[in-house]
């Protein structure tokens, strides 16, 4: 017993704050399985603790303390945190700071992915005018690094160059780099992301919708739903007028992870096209909670079809309250005008 107590005392205790913010072992293990990481939870956890306690400037003797670690493991740990953030749709300040720290440490250990990401961060911050974070020397160094990495055909660098051009609205150049990336790597999650962005460029070209459709289909095949919801929605929008039957399941997928814009579209498809009023009402109900105006309009129609007069009256009252908003007044007035007869019937009922 004495020995056990002494062990407890001698064991270095992790700060309570870190324990509070870090998710349970089971959650992390699930993500590790998804990402197929090299390290196990047992090997990773002490490193997370170490990083949470150390500052960025502090030199950690990685080789001595954790002889099993590689620079790519730190990037994988960062990916764990990113996945966690995406799944929870919640950003914790400390975990975000830890992501940065992991990136810095990975770069120190010579990881090309980390160097590439940091270099692009430096350039982007400089372009934005945040000179206080990165001075001119940093930018020059970043520029040199990117050129060297590109010469070595580093995949992530090529993708980031594409992203950079896309952000600066040089779409033809971005497309060129994305295509270059896809020649090197076409069956990974990163490629899925590239397919999604490529599709967005292609849809802007004249008659490029067929190519965009192909890219987005590939994108949603490769990427998990949390990361590809945007492209699910865009694909659904592409199908919406011509093939609502194909658009519906895509929108439902978006709605399953709470994609805001999908509720009203789903509601209208169910109401006007498939004429399943009950289901449409449920979708609109979710939309009402996020104060979507068009969901109010749809909900009112659904209530009338289902002869639910009390809900229709309540909806109408809320709608009239919303009228004070100048942007929405025109739409509300048009709607009320077109529903005059139904409103009269509602008053009589």
Partner 1 sequence: MYFRLTMVRTCKISTVTKSGSIQLHNLVKTPLYEALNGRYKSGMLQVVQDVNWNANTAPSYSSEHLTSTLNSTRSLPMTKFPKQEIIERVKSDTKVGQWRKFLTSWFRIGLFLLKSYKTGIQDTLKVYWDTRSVERRIDIKNGALAKLMREIEMNEINIKLSSSLSPKKESVRVASEPFSINRKELVELIRRDQIWKLPVFFTLVFIFEEISALIFIFFPRVCPYNCLTPGGYKKLSNIYIQATTGANANCGLGPLEFSKEGTIKYEPPYSLSTENLHGFLKNFPQSMVSSWKLCIYKKLKLQKLLCNEVEKIYQYLLIDDWLLLQGILKTDSETIKIVLSDKELVNCILERKLYLMGDDLNEMVSDTLGQKILLKRLFLYWSLRYNDTISFNGKHMFSEKWGVNNISLLKYNPEFIITNDI
| Sign of the CA dihedral with 29 first, then 31, 36, and 37 last | negative
Query: Is residue 88 within 8 Å of residue 22, measured between CB atoms?
Result: no
In whole angstroms, the minimum distance from the beta carbon of 315 to partner 1 comes to 15
Question: What is the Cα–Cα distance from 47 to 60, expressed in whole angstroms?
Answer: 10
CB nearer partner 1, residue 73 or residue 292: 292
When the beta carbons of 36 and 341 are compared against partner 1, the nearer one is 341
- What's the min distance (Å) between Cβ of 279 and partner 1? 12
Report in angstroms how near the CB of residue 213 gets to partner 1 at its nearest: 8
Closer residue to partner 1 in complex, CB, 122/315: 315
Report whether 222 contacts 192 (CB < 8 A).
Answer: yes
Please identify, using beta-carbon distances, which residue of 148 and 261 lies nearer to partner 1.
261
| 3-class secondary structure, 90 | coil
Residue nearer to partner 1 on the CB measure, 53 or 275 = 275
Shortest Å distance, C-beta 327 to partner 1:
7
Q: What angle do CA 61, 118, 131 make, to 5 degrees?
A: 115
CA distance to 26, 164, 213, 218, 283, per residue, from 229 (Å): 25, 22, 15, 13, 18
Q: How far is the CB of 92 from partner 1 (least distance, A)?
A: 23
Residue 115's Cβ-side half-sphere holds a number of Cα atoms within 13 Å equal to 18
Q: In which element (H, E) is residue 324 found?
A: none
187-203 as b/e, with b when 16 or more CB fall inside 10 Å? eeebbbbbbbbbbbbbb
In the complex, which residues of this chain contact partner 1 (CB under 8 A)?
200, 203-204, 206-207, 209-210, 230, 233-234, 237-245, 260-261, 264-265, 268-269, 271-275, 293-294, 297, 301, 327, 330-331, 334-335, 338
Closer to partner 1 by CB, 50 or 318: give it.
318
The neighbour count for residue 59, using CB atoms within 10 Å, is 8
Question: Minimum CB separation from partner 1 for residue 326, in Å?
Answer: 13
């Amino acid at each position: 017993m004495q020995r056990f107590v002494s062990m407890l005392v001698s064991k270095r205790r992790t700060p309570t704050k870190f324990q509070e913010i870090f998710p349970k072992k089971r959650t992390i293990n699930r993500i590790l399985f998804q990402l197929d990481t090299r390290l196990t939870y047992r090997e990773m956890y002490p490193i997370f603790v170490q990083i949470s306690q150390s500052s960025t400037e502090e030199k950690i003797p990685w080789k001595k303390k954790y002889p099993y670690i590689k620079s790519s493991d730190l990037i994988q740990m960062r990916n764990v945190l990113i996945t966690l953030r995406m799944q929870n749709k919640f950003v914790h300040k400390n975990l975000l700071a830890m992501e940065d720290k992991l990136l810095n440490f990975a770069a120190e250990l010579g990881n090309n992915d980390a160097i590439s990401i940091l270099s692009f961060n430096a350039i982007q911050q400089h372009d934005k005018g945040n000179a206080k974070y990165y001075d001119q020397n940093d930018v020059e160094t970043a520029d040199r690094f990117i050129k060297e990495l590109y010469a070595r055909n580093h995949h992530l660098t090529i993708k980031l160059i594409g992203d950079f051009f896309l952000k600066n609205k040089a779409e033809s150049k971005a497309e060129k780099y994305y295509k270059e990336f896809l020649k090197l790597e076409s069956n990974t999650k990163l490629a899925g992301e590239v397919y999604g962005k490529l599709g967005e460029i292609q849809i802007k070209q004249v008659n490029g919708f067929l190519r965009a459709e192909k890219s987005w289909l590939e994108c949603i095949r490769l990427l998990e739903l949390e990361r590809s919801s945007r492209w699910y929605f865009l694909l659904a929008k592409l199908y919406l007028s011509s093939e609502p039957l194909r658009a519906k399941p895509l929108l439902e997928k978006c709605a399953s992870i709470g994609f805001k814009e999908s509720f009203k579209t789903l509601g209208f498809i169910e109401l006007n096209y498939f004429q399943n009023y009950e289901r449409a009402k449920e979708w609109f109900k979710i939309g009402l909670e996020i104060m979507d105006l068009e969901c109010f309009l749809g909900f009112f129609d659904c209530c009338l079809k289902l002869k639910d007069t009390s809900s229709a009256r309540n909806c109408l009252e809320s709608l009239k309250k919303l009228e004070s908003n100048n942007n929405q007044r025109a739409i509300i007035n048009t709607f009320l005008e077109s529903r005059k007869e139904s409103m009269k019937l509602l008053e009589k009922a």
